[in-house]
Amino acid sequence: MVSVKICGLSTPETLDAAIAGGASHVGFVFYPPSPRAVSFDAVRGLTARVPARIAKVGVFVDPCNALIDQAIESGALDAIQLHNVTPGRAAALKEYSRREVWAAVAVKTRADLDTASNYRQAADKILYDAKTPDGALPGGMGVRFDWGLLDGFQHPLPWALSGGLSADNVAEAVRRTGATLVDVSTGVESAPGVKDVDKIAAFLQAVGQL
């Protein structure tokens, strides 16, 4: 069975679509430059709708401790997903937050993949995401990487696949990589930051058929 995280949710309707469609994880972005960024008040209301069986993941880019505190308190987060964070900082945030830590590894080359092993003692999960262009957001750009890079790779930790997934390519991505957890944001949107309930349903249906 393949689990799905629908990320960058910011409205009750789209969150409900993710829940109804069978998402295992829902993600909330705590990074103001993102078009998906949510306020603490908004996330409080949103996460109150999430049943206990579904994990709530906060997405952060090199966060300070105060942001982590406020986000966990307002969103009752189960896990924190960290982008642009060194293994040392990830380990510190794991101890500080007492939450599951997902370390995002930005992948373009096999050498990028190899950096995942640095998080072995620092994180609970690796999120393989595509490396985005300089100056762009470090995620949520709908960019995919060459899934063939994962062929034969010795994963240092449990892992998830993200980057440019959609209802049209997720079956191929899972077949190609063996992923048991996939993460999508742009691929279930009609415009940057605007989630689409039909696309969310189609993505979850595509995974459900695997």
Ligand X SMILES: O=C(O)c1ccccc1N[C@@H]1O[C@H](COP(=O)(O)O)[C@@H](O)[C@H]1O
Residues contributing to the site for ligand X (CB under 6 A): 7-8, 27, 29, 31, 34, 36, 59, 61, 83, 127, 129, 137-143, 162-165, 183-187
Cα–Cα separations (whole angstroms), residue 45 to 42, 97, 102, 116, 180:
5, 21, 24, 35, 30
Q: Which one, 75 or 138, has the nearer CB to ligand X? A: 138
Known active-site residue 64: no
Q: Which one, 56 or 83, has the nearer CB to ligand X? A: 83
Q: Which one, 21 or 27, has the nearer CB to ligand X? A: 27
Q: Which one, 72 or 79, has the nearer CB to ligand X? A: 79
Least distance (Å) between residue 123 CB and ligand X: 14
CA-to-CA distance for 204 and 208, rounded, in angstroms? 6
Instruction: Determine phi and psi for 29, rounding to 5 degrees.
Output: -95, 125
Least distance (Å) between residue 184 CB and ligand X: 5
Burial (Cβ within 10 Å: 0-12, 13-18, ≥19) of residue 11: middle
Known active-site residue 129: yes
Least distance (Å) between residue 103 CB and ligand X: 12
Strands 125-130, 159-162: pairing is parallel
Least distance (Å) between residue 142 CB and ligand X: 5
Q: Which one, 152 or 190, has the nearer CB to ligand X? A: 190
CB 68 within 8 A of CB 79: no
Task: Provide the residue count of the chain.
Answer: 210
Least distance (Å) between residue 5 CB and ligand X: 7
Which residue among the candidates 124, 129, 151, 198 is catalytic per the annotation? 129
Which residues participate in catalysis according to the annotation?
7, 129
